[in-house]
Amino acid sequence: MSKIHLIDSPFPLSNVKGLGPKRLQVLNELNIHTIEDLILYFPVRYEDNTVIDLTQAEDQSMVTVVGEVYSTPAVAFFGRNKSKLTVHLMVNQIAVKCVFFNQPYLKKKINLNDKVTIKGKWNRRKQEINGNKMLFNTGDEGQPQLEPVYRIKEGIKQKPLRDMIRQVLDEVTIHEWLSAELRDKYKLESLADTVRNLHYAPDKKELLKARRTYAFTELFMFELRMQWLNRIEKTSDEAIEVNYDIELVKDFIQRLPFELTSAQKQSVNEIFRDLKAPVRMHRLLQGDVGSGKTVVAAICMYALKTAGYQSALMVPTEILAEQHAESLSELFGEAMNVALLTGSVKGTQRTLLLEQLRKGEIDCLIGTHALIQDDVVFNNIGLVITDEQHRFGVNQRQLLREKGAMTNVLFMTATPIPRTLAISVFGEMDVSSIKQLPAGRKPILTTWEKHESYEQVLEQMTGELNKGRQAYVICPLIESSEHLEDVQNVIELYESLQSYYGNQRVGLLHGKLSTEDKEEVMQRFSDHEIDILVSTTVVEVGVNVPNATFMMIYDANRFGLSTLHQLRGRVGRSEHQSYCVLIASPKTETGIERMNIMTQTNDGFELSERDLEMRGPGDFFGVKQSGLPDFLVADVVEDYKMLEVARDEAGELIQSGQFFDDQYRTLREFIEDKILYMSFD
Ligand code: ADP
Ligand code: MG
């Protein structure tokens, strides 16, 4: 994973003294390829060698003491190859006995009246130290209080690595990126001192300071990048103006089978304002599951068509792409030519489709990441929409956007991203929110049951089925796995439900079915030829069957909050009361808390904040897709406040225009060279 660059590599690593090809190879294996990598190869921990006052030391704690040898060491051998060395020290007027096991060679090195530093375990009652390390002729100086410990491997030892880093640090000049004002304001050190102290801090206080400064610098540089990129995008004056035909659009909205909610109307207005403006749209449309984002997207795509442009909708799964293609075709009727492109579209069918797309005969292309393949060429694309965008990497989104140089972008998500994080990750994005469900919806009632209550849950489900409703039963895995024996397997569950319900039609859906089979099962569920759909999380996103009012999630503790919320969003899509039952016997506190949160709130915004609190952004977005670089020291969750400060300061610098003054030229060039266009996926 990429890291934010903070340091130049003025010469190649191979120029470092004492670094032959063999060691170079070892360093490479430790992912050290440049001078920068070496300098930023921070210790994984620090051995605390702070000399301590024995009268204050706790019994059985590790201590470091300095003392004077007053007895000739004696060695006793016992057992096979075992030995015990005893020596007496005077430590600050306290006579201390020191024993070293199996280090008989120390005897030759210890002389009467030597001043030595010893590390070991303190036995208060016996006034004895069980030593594991002895350093000679050190006195009070020379020995670093916090000794860096690096991750190493065969071929390189701690000491040479430490020496090498020290040598290189002496030879390079580390540039300062934070202004003196900024450092003053937040009590930060110079970057040069910071880096040095991260290796050789004189004490813990300095180490903490160094950590703060480094974390801030990382976040600040990252934010400069984000906001600079954003400025470049926004000020590109070449963006197309979409001159849609408002009368046609109004007609289209009139003909919808329902009235738009006011939140939907407002979102449409906000998006339309962007479309008409001669700047690229860069907007996030967030709304809880079932809030009706798809129809907002449809209206926009229709508007593009009236202005003579094509549009694209990228979704994370094939099932969702198919569903969208189908429901949008129905919605548009003759008005738009909708096409579907997924991995399953192949051969002549695909060739033909691409040809039509190039000629502009397709108005709206819906698909999975198959949309970003090189040979997918649009005639004149004017709008790119990504649904559940956090599931795509930044690169994938970028590629799709590049299909049309001046394209407007709309991101849709049902997993609301806490705003600070969204801005920090995606840059200053405009946000439209649909915080209102279509009229007549009742909040879903969520309960949490232990496995013992399974039978009762089934009875509750039967009640719903008897009213003519349908149900989802979700379970985590496809087939039995040796590692997760206690997890109900979807096929077993399917079979047991089939025998339990003689008179209800049970269907099975999982990721290992072929696309056609999946589609057929979904279609049958949607046509109410299936009453109970037993499924893995493949139904997680976007699937829309309003008559389904019962959602049972088996082993719910196996899922994260955002997944649970998405799954729950499959019900509650009509005027009928819907239910979600979580079956789980979690063993961990987090597991229990997750179940409780689910029963407490239906609000996706709240859930996402709490999910973030519990798991951090990596998990929240999916580790690889967070769009965040791998910070060396900063932690986006722990240092959340710092991220906000860094964002504001970076924003101030860029928006005030100061950043483009001569004094920041070196910084600008460095960022442009090293950070601006790097990818974090
Ligand atoms: P989302 O994508 O935000 O989860 P959808 O767009 O799938 O939600 O909409 C959920 C359901 O609500 C769909 O059946 C859709 O047709 C319906 N719907 C959308 N907007 C409205 C509205 N204003 N009034 C009534 N039903 C609506
Ligand atoms: Mg949707």
Q: What is the DSSP string of 56-85?
A: GPPTT-EEEEEEEE-S--EEEEETTTEEEE
What's the average model confidence in pLDDT over 340-360? 94
pLDDT at residue number 623: 36
Q: Is the pLDDT of residue 317 over 50?
A: yes
Q: Is the pLDDT of residue 215 over 80?
A: yes
pLDDT at residue number 136: 67
Confidence band of 681 (pLDDT split at 50, 70, 90): very low
CA distance readout (Å), 327 to 105, 332, 348, 545 = 81, 9, 25, 12
Binding pocket residue ranges, ligand 1, CB within 6 Å = 258-261, 264, 287, 289-295, 414, 438, 544, 546, 573
pLDDT at residue number 439: 84
CA distance readout (Å), 578 to 164, 288, 461, 464, 568 = 65, 16, 11, 9, 10
Query: Nearest-CA neighbor of 52 among 112, 84, 94, 88?
Result: 94
Q: Which ligand lies nearest to the CA atom of residue 286 in the structure? A: 1
Q: 561-568 and 589-600 helices cross at what angle (nearest 10)? A: 30
Token readout for 125 is 């009652």
**Window from 59-73, 169-183, 218-232 with minimum mean pLDDT:** 218-232
pLDDT at residue number 490: 85
Token readout for 572 is 């509650």
Token readout for 28 is 């490479």
What's the average model confidence in pLDDT over 429-439? 83
Q: Which carries the bigger pLDDT value, residue 640 or residue 59?
A: 59
CA distance readout (Å), 197 to 30, 203, 677 = 22, 9, 30
pTM: 0.61
Q: Which carries the bigger pLDDT value, residue 121 or residue 422?
A: 121
d(CA 449, CA 452): 8
CA 599, 601, 602: angle at the middle one, nearest 5? 105
Mutation pick for ligand 1 pocket among 259, 268, 291, 295 (CB with most ligand atoms within 8 Å): 295
User: Measured between alpha carbons, how far apart are the two ends of the chain, in Å?
Assistant: 7
pLDDT at residue number 422: 65
pLDDT at residue number 622: 42
pLDDT at residue number 234: 64
Confidence band of 488 (pLDDT split at 50, 70, 90): low
Q: Which ligand lies nearest to the CA atom of residue 435 in the structure? A: 1
Q: Which carries the bigger pLDDT value, residue 256 or residue 632?
A: 256
What's the average model confidence in pLDDT over 457-483? 85
Q: What is the largest CA-CA distance in the chain?
A: 102
Atom of ligand 1 nearest to the CA of 293: 3
Backbone angles phi, psi at 557, to 5 degrees: -70, -10
What's the average model confidence in pLDDT over 643-671? 92
Q: Is the pLDDT of residue 416 over 80?
A: no
Q: Is the pLDDT of residue 471 over 90?
A: yes
Confidence band of 531 (pLDDT split at 50, 70, 90): very high
Residue 566, strand partner residues: none
Determine what percent of the chain is predicted with pLDDT higher than 90. 47
Mutation pick for ligand 1 pocket among 254, 255, 256, 258 (CB with most ligand atoms within 8 Å): 258
d(CA 676, CA 680): 11
Confidence band of 621 (pLDDT split at 50, 70, 90): very low
Q: Is the pLDDT of residue 1 over 80?
A: no
What's the average model confidence in pLDDT over 132-159? 76
**Given its phi and psi angles, is residue 231 left (phi above 0), alpha (psi -120 to 50 degrees) or beta?**
alpha
- Spacing, Cα 437 to ligand 1 middle (Å): 8
Q: Which carries the bigger pLDDT value, residue 622 or residue 548?
A: 548
Q: Which ligand lies nearest to the CA atom of residue 541 in the structure? A: 2
pLDDT at residue number 427: 60
Q: Where are the extended beta strands (E) located within 266-349? A: 282-287, 310-314, 338-341
Q: Is the pLDDT of residue 399 over 70?
A: no
Torsion of CA 77, 81, 82, 87, to 10 degrees: 60
